[in-house]
Structure 1
Amino acid sequence: MDKIYGSIAIIGRPNAGKSSLFNRLCQLRIAITSKIAGTTRDIKKAHITLGEMNFLLLDTGGLDKKNDFFEHISSNSLKVAEESDLILYLLDGKEPPNEEDKKIFYHLEKKNPHIFLVINKIDNEKEEQQVWSFTEFGSKNYFFISTTHNRGITGLQNAILKHFKDQPIAPLFHNEEEESLEDFLEHSHTQESINIGIIGRVNVGKSSLLNALLRQERSLVSNIAGTTIDPVDEISTIGETQVCFVDTAGIRRRGQIGKGEIGDLERFALLRTKEVLSKTDIALLVLDASKPFVELDEKIAGLIDEYKLATIVVFNKWDIAYKDFKAIMQDFKLRFRFLEYAPTLTISAKNGRHIQKLEEEILKVYKNFSFRIPTSKLNDILQQATIKHPIPSDKGKIVKIYYATQFDNKPPQIALIMNRPKSLHFSYKRYLANFLREHFDFSGTKIIFIARGKNDFQESDQ
């Protein structure tokens, strides 16, 4: 792992341009940016390189106290800034100095003297000449920038580098003296990590579940629907296994996605959710047990099928379930037949019910998701299956499987070498999948069959 020489927190009131500066320094569009105040609602992290030095960059939520929810954002943001090695306090240069900004700046300066005052949205030299009123903050380090026009960014980067070189800080991550660099790199590359996406519609308790799994308040929880916009990721462990949890944005019905700026924001959040799922191993599908299932739940579950993910279905808010277990499971099996392979758990993220059991299930499902069947064993089992229930003929012509091999995992993918691959009916593939499940624990994962002939092939998920 490369050395991280320090942490840099970007902080300021809403709409100052924190996420835009974060993206500029990352040179990648990671945080969602918008003119809507309060867009960033969780701490966003990224590793960046300036010169030849690596840093941990933190994008905080806006400092605003319009209601209890934003007071919560402020406390999280302030804590992150106070503990960082350098603070970039961002101001909106289009507005005159604000008394609230001064109070926050002085508070942070007292807690952490390593702070830069960065005035954003200064798009030209004329505007720069008009903003010297910001000198009343009394800061020793002023920077006039425009994230939109990439103005002043290089100067800011150079100042950050000079700051850390003048005041060196012990690297956040470094190798133990007794461990060689080669050993360390080998260990870091071979450590397996399970990527877990938490998905569901708005307000089903995804962020509460993430906090329960982490045993800490990492993601903000609110009764306001749609609190999480950007996917929030956090590295943790289950036993000795490293896991990366991602709390994705809640998904709304198409008709509920607004028009204009808010609608664009939600559409981008949906795209980011899909981007996360493309890199996910296991999806935790969170369903609200306090209310009947809706069509949107089924559509969201369809993303699991689209990205061929391992799956655990989580019935949250079980402490206030609207029906008994038997009735809810009957409704689930009727609506979600395509998830019949997925284990189900009743939990309450609020009081911690069955969280440990969910962790155990995650490890079990990932093992199934990654499992490879030895070729000889696979062929023996499929031969038993075809003897027990022969493949239906194709217009009187015999259909045979000559040979089978599992050519990939995550999920398990099996090639069937056949004389008539297009004649293998969907129902027979389902039969083969169920037969395999009788011999191996494939709970939580799909089984993909690819029937291959001499000149063509087809694919089926079971």
Structure 2
Amino acid sequence: MNTELKKIALIGQPNVGKSSLFNRIAKQRIAIVSDLAGTTRDIRKHEIEVFDRCAMMLDTGGIDETNDAIFSNVKRKAIETAKEADIILFMVDGKRIPDEKDKELFYELQALGKELALVVNKIDNDKENERLWEFFEFGISDENLFGISVSHNRGTKTLFEWIYNHLPPVVEPELSEEEKAKLEQALEDDDSEKSKREEIDEKNIKVAIIGKVNVGKSSTLNAIIGEERSVVSEVAGTTIDPVDESFEYQNKNVTFVDTAGLRRRGKIEGIEKFALMRTKDMLEKANVALVVLDASTAFSDLDEKIAGLVDQYGLGTIIVLNKWDENMDTFQKLETEVRRRFRFLEYAPIIAISAKTGRSVERLKDKIIEVHENYTRRIPTSALNRVIEQAVIRHALPSPAGNYLRIYYATQFSAQPPKIALVMNKPRMLHFSYKRYLINFLRDNFNFEGTPIHLIARGKNDKIGDEEYLEESN
């Protein structure tokens, strides 16, 4: 146990929620929580981490001014603990008006000259928050008074930030060149099998064609293939079973799976319900998705929900505006509407076609090849780090609460879609907005059109897992 850690003492009368707050900060159930007053009678100690700063948390027994020998002993231990602590959290029950026992004890703790916060628990809603002013009777400053609800996890973040600001920052040792080399080798070893699989699939492109009923998915397939392979009908939902079709194009084997039209869940019955299940199975196997929209009609919420499936499965994406010849609006106007509705697919190119006349179909075929190349693209580590360094120079890393953040290096550990690890000193403190900035900067310097980029900050000792990389993508 680290004796150099700052100590935080939880003090207060029985049943005010100290043990619950203790468990919340410790992120596990350590202290016993009970409605029976005085359940905690011994001092419980646990090393905690608030964001990235460590401390020793001390949970004391409830203090009750009675003649009971047990509670008298508990009070003595609590005061002794407070004297040893660096930070004191004095908790009171926000559902009761401040009483004299609380005030007396608070003044006694205040006299110790420690960092002291008055934590008013059980403030469960905005109406109860209005009673908080009553606790200024303690003579506490506004920045040291916290109205929280541990059970509802309300207001706890502000309290944790106050605690964090009163803890010393973590001093991170510099990485030696040898450590950097070992880390990079470990990443390469983790990725060796994935690289082999990706090389095998490099010439095989699996394209999913999705969209709601009757937007022209089958017509689009027939136009690309060059002959009528799928049944085309004005009757909505004609295609039931997905139809797989392959052809060679630019030395690539392109396989299309034309899915059954997707209906609203409430209207799916029998065989069409089965078709929806098959569609999702297909999306799991696809590399590239064509999100087909009907340009001749207004876009709907269902269009957005279907497009959301592509984003969910992390596929290379092209937005196809079919029936373009039936729309009198300018392309710019239509593009603006698509970007507004489908912000989550901002990386996807938009191509307006007419499956009926064949307009722009060849351009769509070329774009499929290009998007797949971007989807499988691997950026050399040296080039990637050069661009990340430029990004940091242009817009410095943030310093949350005075912490110095540093990116040691970046490496792409996988493709399909591109997945990039930022190895840094305090990964959990890197804000998502800065990750988004880095992703956009990468797009400005490398051709990632049509593909999401998964980016995550990790510590030098963290283990890579694919599920981690879904934390921030664009």
Q: TM-score, normalised by structure 2?
A: 0.55
| Counterpart secondary structure, 1:252 | coil
Q: Which residue of 2 aligns with 1:461?
A: 473
The CA deviation at 1:384 is: 0.9
| 2:222 aligned residue (202, 207, 211) | 211
2:284 counterpart of 1:273: no
2:246 counterpart of 1:235: yes
Note if contact 1:201-1:251 (Cα within 8 Å) is conserved in structure 2: yes
Matches of 1:270 and 1:392 in 2, distance apart?
45
Matches of 2:212 and 2:335 in 1, distance apart?
19
Matches of 2:297 and 2:316 in 1, distance apart?
25
The CA deviation at 1:190 is: 7.6
Letter in 2 for 1:461: S
2:416 counterpart of 1:410: yes
Structure 1: unaligned runs, 5 residues or longer: 1-188, 258-262
| Counterpart secondary structure, 1:460 | coil
Matches of 1:314 and 1:435 in 2, distance apart?
26
The CA deviation at 1:456 is: 7.0
Letter in 2 for 1:245: F
- Give the 3 Å change call, closer, same or farther, for CA 327–425 of structure 1 in structure 2: same
Q: Which residue of 2 aligns with 1:302?
A: 308
Q: Deviations over 1:98-126 (max 9, x none)?
A: xxxxxxxxxxxxxxxxxxxxxxxxxxxxx
Q: Which residue of 1 aligns with 2:402?
A: 396
Q: TM-score, normalised by structure 1?
A: 0.57
| Aligned residue runs from structure 1 range 62-77, under 5 A | none
| Counterpart secondary structure, 1:451 | strand
- Give the 3 Å change call, closer, same or farther, for CA 401–299 of structure 1 in structure 2: same
Matches of 1:190 and 1:428 in 2, distance apart?
33
Matches of 2:454 and 2:430 in 1, distance apart?
14
| Aligned residue runs from structure 1 range 16-415, under 5 A | 192-257=203-268, 263-321=269-327, 323-415=329-421
Letter in 2 for 1:246: V
Letter in 1 for 2:443: R
The CA deviation at 1:324 is: 2.6
- Give the 3 Å change call, closer, same or farther, for CA 252–348 of structure 1 in structure 2: same
Note if contact 2:374-2:447 (Cα within 8 Å) is conserved in structure 1: yes
The CA deviation at 1:191 is: 7.6
The CA deviation at 1:210 is: 0.6
Matches of 1:190 and 1:203 in 2, distance apart?
32
Note if contact 1:291-1:322 (Cα within 8 Å) is conserved in structure 2: no
Matches of 1:438 and 1:325 in 2, distance apart?
24
The CA deviation at 1:252 is: 1.1
Matches of 1:256 and 1:323 in 2, distance apart?
32
Q: Deviations over 1:353-391 (max 9, x none)?
A: 101000111111111111100001111110110111112
Letter in 1 for 2:247: S
The CA deviation at 1:192 is: 1.9
Note if contact 1:292-1:322 (Cα within 8 Å) is conserved in structure 2: no
Aligned residues: 269
Letter in 2 for 1:330: T
Note if contact 1:204-1:287 (Cα within 8 Å) is conserved in structure 2: yes
The CA deviation at 1:396 is: 1.5
The CA deviation at 1:322 is: 5.3
Q: Deviations over 1:252-279 (max 9, x none)?
A: 112322xxxxx13222111100000100
| Counterpart secondary structure, 2:370 | helix
Matches of 1:283 and 1:381 in 2, distance apart?
29
| 1:447 aligned residue (444, 453, 456) | 453
Structure 2: unaligned runs, 5 residues or longer: 1-199
Q: Deviations over 1:14-37 (max 9, x none)?
A: xxxxxxxxxxxxxxxxxxxxxxxx
| Counterpart secondary structure, 1:237 | strand
The CA deviation at 1:455 is: 4.3
Note if contact 1:289-1:322 (Cα within 8 Å) is conserved in structure 2: no
Matches of 1:239 and 1:449 in 2, distance apart?
31
RMSD, aligned CA: 1.5
Letter in 2 for 1:241: K
